[in-house]
Amino acid sequence: MHHFFVNQDQIEENIISIIGSDVNHIKNVLRMKINEQVLISNGRDKDYLCSIDQITCDEVILQIISVYEEKTELPAKIYLFQGLPKSDKMELIIQKAVELGVYEIIPVAMKNSVVKLDEKKAENKIKRWQTISESAAKQSKRMLIPKVEQVMTFKEALDYARAFEYNLIPYENARGMQETKELIGSLRPNSSIGVFIGPEGGFDNAEIELALSRNMKCITLGKRILRTETAGLAALSVIMFQLEK
């Protein structure tokens, strides 16, 4: 079943209105017909099973069949702070992170990041990455579309995460799998969790020292060295397993 997101103001008592680019997608790409069913999310806390009632040039009108409030989101908010990787790796990271339940993705320009984005390039990248987040949210039946934030410096990212209940940094020189297991086991619902992932060149020593001075916790993901596009997904997977009910 096809899945779309709408704003709350597009939802009335028994009717939902789809506008914008999704109209063309429904009408000319999917070639959907009257009475076909679709799943609609309000981007917050509800899903709506609907049937198509009308299709016009600039609007699709849906009749609400039923409303679902069953939670498909994780019971905690996970923020992925991803060191900027090379080429199109960020697209893969965003897609899979959204599937795993991440709440927000923050690209971070770190000392060892090979990629350097000027303001114009960063703006275009963010638009592209947000589109990928939306597509992944639709595919995985998320109730919300995770936001891809503007690129931050490492210090800005630490400041952004200051108020979170937990901040974890998978680090290749971290030791102690038992301590990591205990820390992951301590994660609780209704909390905010930051996960910091280094770029291909890893974290700079000064970045780790600064993070530790902010009471952030280094963890290990095992004895093997993971690529940047693997590390975040591995961390998200174990956190999801801990939190999922």
DSSP secondary structure, 116-185, as one string: ---HHHHHHHHHHHHHHHHHHHHHTT-SS--EEPPPEEHHHHHHHTTT-SEEEEE-TT---HHHHHHHHH
Residues of the chain with CATH 2.40.240.20: 3-68
**Which is more confident, 5 or 72?**
5
pLDDT at 117: 83
Question: Containing H/E element for 4?
Answer: strand 3-5
Three-state DSSP state, 102: coil
Q: CA 168 to CA 48: how far, in whole Å?
A: 36
Q: CA 74 to CA 77: how far, in whole Å?
A: 7
- Structure confidence by residue, pLDDT tens digits, 49-77: 999 999 999 999 999 999 887 677 899 99
Residues of the chain with CATH 3.40.1280.10: 77-243
- Structure confidence by residue, pLDDT tens digits, 143-176: 899 999 999 999 999 999 999 999 999 987 777 7
Q: 43 with 5: CB under 8 angstroms?
A: yes
pLDDT at 70: 65
Looking only at the bridges linking them, the beta strands covering 47-55 and 37-41 are antiparallel
Let me know the angle formed at the C-alpha of 98 by 96 and 102, rounded to the nearest 5 degrees: 120
24 has pLDDT over 70: yes
Question: Containing H/E element for 107?
Answer: strand 104-109
CB atoms within 10 A of CB 11: 18
- Structure confidence by residue, pLDDT tens digits, 76-116: 999 999 999 988 899 999 999 999 999 999 999 999 998 88
CATH number of 3-68: 2.40.240.20
118 has pLDDT over 90: no
Q: 207 with 158: CB under 8 angstroms?
A: no
pLDDT at 31: 92
CB atoms within 10 A of CB 233: 19
- Which CATH number fits the domain 77-243, given the four candidates 3.40.640.10, 3.30.56.10, 3.30.360.10, 3.40.1280.10? 3.40.1280.10
